[in-house]
Structure 1
Amino acid sequence: MKINCLIQNLKDAVQIAERNTSKNQTLPILNSVLIDADGGKIKIKATNLETAVEINIPGKVEDGGNVAILAKTLSLFLSSLKDDRVILESKKNNLFIKTKTAQTTIRGFISEDFPLFPKIDAVEIFSLPANELRSAISSVAIAVSTSDIKPELSSVLFKVFKNTVKLVATDSFRLAEKTIVSKNISAEKLVSFLIPQKSVQEILKIIENDDIKFGFNKNQIILYNNNIKFISRLTEGIFPDYEQILPKEFKISAIADKADVISNLKTAGIFTGKLNDLNMSFNSDKKSISFQTSNQDIGEHFSEIKTTIAGGDTMIKFNWRYILDGVSQINQEYVVFDLNNSESPLLIHGKGDGSYVYLVMPMRGV
């Protein structure tokens, strides 16, 4: 193999690939990236057996072939180079690198030991604009569980039906749902799949502009975006029937300025205890929402904002960070708080917008 390409393109591709390698003592080849030159194309590949990525980069292929090189070593070396172009040449299982100012040899692996790149016979295919997908994933990822005890809760659920896709996540303390309607989706029957949290975070990092094309089957999902192909295993398990816990009717509904809510939440958060507990009071007579926190080592805090409110009065305790997470994802100027009583969950959404809903469970026994 012998190729000639821009260092920046190679460096960017290797950095993406490196995130999908694995520090595996049993299979050290998983620590490597495969540089593959075939058919006039240059591809950088990596896999950790859970995810796999392939990045196409422009360049000149003088001789076809491939070589597997330790990802971290190659990434660090490329980051240190100041030249514009680089020549890469495989010599046995090693990689010879030449620039205008340097010549380097990096020891490699036997490329035949590199795992076969997964091949997916996609059952369903649809596409989404990159900015919509990025925004949707970000808005629900905040509710993904950080524990691996229940893999289905440390994943994001995708539900695809007709021209709609719903992204849902929950850690059992809060739940976030984002709905996207697109002419590029046409699923005749309901299909759903769970993407692991780590894969979701990687998708956020590799998304560029233009449309993202999805293909998936029972066990894997594949994404195409410009010059990148990303494959991930899907989570096995059954996501909770969350629609059963979403309240259909509410006795209390309050509308407040989003900026005021965020400002007051952040200030109240300074005075919370270890449990981050916040008392929120809804007062229909004063048409206000108040925020009260206390910490025996720091002090106490009380603030109040004016709202448009309908229904009765109630005081309810929440983790203030959970409330802030949800409100911060609202894209409208005004945020709506819907609830029934001091023991019921709180539903948050933007005024006049039902495409994003965020449900928070109250803190009990605190």
Structure 2
Amino acid sequence: MKFSINRTELANALSVVFKGVSTRSTLPVLAGILVEARQDSIILQATDLELSIQYSAPALVEEEGRTVVPGKLFSDIIKNLPDAAVHVEAADEQAFITCDTSSFSIRALNAEDFPGFPHVDTHQKIEIPFHQFASMVKRVSRVVSRDESRAVLTGVLITLEAGVLRMVATDSYRLAITDAPLPDASADEFQAVISGTFLAEIASLPKTESPVSLALADNQIVVTCEDTVFINRRIEGNFPNYKQLLPDAYTTRATLDVDKLVASVKRASLLGSAASPVRFDLNQDSQTAQITAASQDVGSAQEILPCTVEGEDVEIAFNYAYVLDGLGSIATDQVYLEVQSSLKPGIFRAFEPENFLYLVMPVRIA
């Protein structure tokens, strides 16, 4: 095998594929990246037997062939080379890398021992513009649970109904929902729970005008973006019935400036730990929201924000870190805070045209 390729192109390809390299397997070949030179391109593959990634990049191929290189070492070498053409040659159990005045010789593994890239029969396929996909994922993925004991909560529920794409995530303390129209979808319906960290990695790919394709197999999800294919396991289990948490009405609604609210909550949070509550006192007569935080043996903070308040006066408290997470996902200048009572969840809702809802469980006020 012998080929030449631009260093930046190869480094970008490796940064994507490296996400699939296994770090815990007892099989040494899974810590490697399969490099295959074919016609006028190279194909890179990595897998940990749950997630498989395949990336194609144009290259000047002098001799076709395939080998497996140590994933981390190969990536680190390419990352640190000068910005020039990289020449890669492999024979027997050695790979040779040359760039400008630098040259490396590294041990390689037998490509025959590398698992074949999965071929799965898919159904229910949808395509989403990349910018829309990335925006939706970034809003909800920060809410997924990190607790592996309830695997379904580590995923994002993706559904398509009546031309509307919806992503939902919850860790049982808060809930994020974002909707976007997808009128040209070829599938009538689509439903799957997909790993939140997996979706976040795809959303962090370089921006592209190409769409992201999601296709379902019986227990897998196939995601294609330009020349990259990701295959990952779907998360089994029933996603919580989140719709029953959404109230039909509210007794109080405040309209707040997002930037001012974020700054106010950050200042109030200086007095407490990550779990300290921040209290919202919404007053209809004065048309204000009083933001209060107190910590025993430390002190207290209080700030008054002008806002529009409709309905009854109410006091409610939230974990401040959860509030900041939700507000960080809102792209509009203003946000609604809808409250039923101090003991029922509060809802932060983005203004039109954004369609984003963030529900937070309250902290009991002492």
Structure 2 length as normaliser, TM-score? Answer: 0.95
Q: Distance in 2 between matches of 1:274 and 1:36?
A: 48
1:34 maps to: 34
Which residues in structure 2 correspond to 1:183-198 (within 5 Å)? Answer: 183-188=183-188, 190-198=189-197
2:133 maps to: 133
Q: Distance in 1 between matches of 2:84 and 2:274?
A: 52
What is the CA-CA distance between 1:256 and the residue it aligns to?
Answer: 1.3
What is the CA-CA distance between 1:186 and the residue it aligns to?
Answer: 3.6
Letter in 2 for 1:204: A
RMSD, matched Cα? 1.6
1:177 maps to: 177
Identity over aligned pairs, percent:
28
What is the CA-CA distance between 1:365 and the residue it aligns to?
Answer: 7.1
- CA change 1:274–1:2 in 2 (3 A) is closer
Single out whichever of 138-147 and 211-220 deviates more from structure 2.
211-220
Which residues in structure 2 correspond to 1:78-97 (within 5 Å)? Answer: 78-82=78-82, 84-97=84-97
Residue 96 of structure 1: SS of its match in structure 2?
strand
Structure 2 unaligned segments of length 5 or more: list them: none
Which residues in structure 2 correspond to 1:1-366 (within 5 Å)? Answer: 1-82=1-82, 84-188=84-188, 190-206=189-205, 208-210=207-209, 211-273=211-273, 275-353=275-353, 355-364=355-364
Q: Distance in 1 between matches of 2:354 and 2:196?
A: 25
- CA change 1:25–1:139 in 2 (3 A) is closer
- CA change 1:198–1:327 in 2 (3 A) is closer
What is the CA-CA distance between 1:13 and the residue it aligns to?
Answer: 1.2
Check conservation: 1:208, 1:226, Cα contact below 8 A. Answer: no
What is the CA-CA distance between 1:295 and the residue it aligns to?
Answer: 1.8
- CA change 1:92–1:361 in 2 (3 A) is same
Q: Distance in 2 between matches of 1:102 and 1:352?
A: 55
Q: Distance in 2 between matches of 1:218 and 1:133?
A: 23
Structure 1 unaligned segments of length 5 or more: list them: none
Letter in 2 for 1:275: A
Check conservation: 1:273, 1:294, Cα contact below 8 A. Answer: no
- CA change 1:352–1:10 in 2 (3 A) is closer
- Tell me the matched-pair count: 365
What is the CA-CA distance between 1:28 and the residue it aligns to?
Answer: 1.3
Q: Distance in 2 between matches of 1:259 and 1:7?
A: 41
Check conservation: 2:332, 2:354, Cα contact below 8 A. Answer: no
Structure 1 length as normaliser, TM-score? Answer: 0.95
What is the CA-CA distance between 1:207 and the residue it aligns to?
Answer: 5.0
Residue 204 of structure 2: SS of its match in structure 1?
helix
- CA change 1:321–1:274 in 2 (3 A) is closer
Letter in 1 for 2:292: Q
Letter in 1 for 2:135: S
1:238-269 CA-to-partner distances (Å, cap 9, x unmatched) read 10010011101111111111122111111111
What is the CA-CA distance between 1:119 and the residue it aligns to?
Answer: 1.3
Check conservation: 1:272, 1:278, Cα contact below 8 A. Answer: no
Q: Distance in 1 between matches of 2:98 and 2:315?
A: 69
1:161-213 CA-to-partner distances (Å, cap 9, x unmatched) read 2322100000000000000112332432x331011123122212225312112
Q: Distance in 1 between matches of 2:21 and 2:154?
A: 21
Single out whichever of 347-356 and 239-248 deviates more from structure 2.
347-356
Q: Distance in 2 between matches of 1:16 and 1:297?
A: 48
What is the CA-CA distance between 1:293 and the residue it aligns to?
Answer: 0.6
Check conservation: 2:8, 2:83, Cα contact below 8 A. Answer: no
Check conservation: 1:67, 1:94, Cα contact below 8 A. Answer: no
What is the CA-CA distance between 1:304 and the residue it aligns to?
Answer: 1.0
Residue 200 of structure 1: SS of its match in structure 2?
helix
Residue 206 of structure 1: SS of its match in structure 2?
coil
Letter in 1 for 2:156: V
